[in-house]
Amino acid sequence: MIFHVMLERDEDGWIVAECPSLPGCVSQGKTEKEALENIKEAITAWLWAEDQKALASLPPPRASEAVLVTV
């Protein structure tokens, strides 16, 4: 998957990375490289958490079962 990320330097010199398409998905780093590595981890965690919320809201399985798919 491809996501656009906004980078901005804060008042303390850290690079703040935000993924606008995923509300609240923000990270930071001392360098641009570190900020980008950290936002990739944050995006993965954000998507996992949303998947877990969706899974918890499903009714209990009947004849079929949930199958994990990676993209």
**CA 22 – CA 50 distance, rounded (Å):** 10
Q: DSSP secondary-structure letter at 71?
A: -
Whether 63 and 44 have beta carbons less than 8 Å apart is answered as no
Task: Note the pLDDT of residue 60.
Answer: 76
Task: Note the pLDDT of residue 29.
Answer: 98
Task: Note the pLDDT of residue 63.
Answer: 59
Task: Note the pLDDT of residue 71.
Answer: 81
Note the pLDDT tens digit of each residue in 9-26. 999 999 999 999 999 999
Task: Note the pLDDT of residue 50.
Answer: 96
Residues lower than pLDDT 50 in the chain = none
